Amino acid sequence: MLSEVAWANARNPTTYLGAQFRRLAHRRGVSKALVAVAHSVLVLVSHVLTTKQPYQELGADYFDHLHQSQLERHHVRRLEQLGYTVSLTPQPA
């Protein structure tokens, strides 16, 4: 039952669990990513039942905002390895 719940959440492109699945499946494979999402679902359910607080969805872009400077450095370094000169200027808000 838990793996079915994990698979249903993994296929949703707009949730944290879907983003976690895609992120892990790319690096570790589909089956290990599915087990990791099932574990996350189990931890979430345990937390909701223990604290009696509703689940707060983090969103599909959670991992992008978590380590934004690390993500910027990664992409700049990758472009420099491909032979480009990169300078970052933030857009005005």
Domain-wise residue ranges, the chain: 2-81
In 3D, which of 11, 23, 30, 28 has the Cα closest to residue 63?
23
Radius of gyration of the chain (CA): 17
Q: Please tell me the pTM assigned to this model.
A: 0.71
Per-residue pLDDT reduced to its tens digit, 27-63: 999 999 999 999 999 999 999 999 999 999 998 888 8
In 3D, which of 55, 53, 66 has the Cα closest to residue 19?
66
- Quote the pLDDT of residue 71: 85
Gap between the Cα atoms of 53 and 90, Å rounded:
38
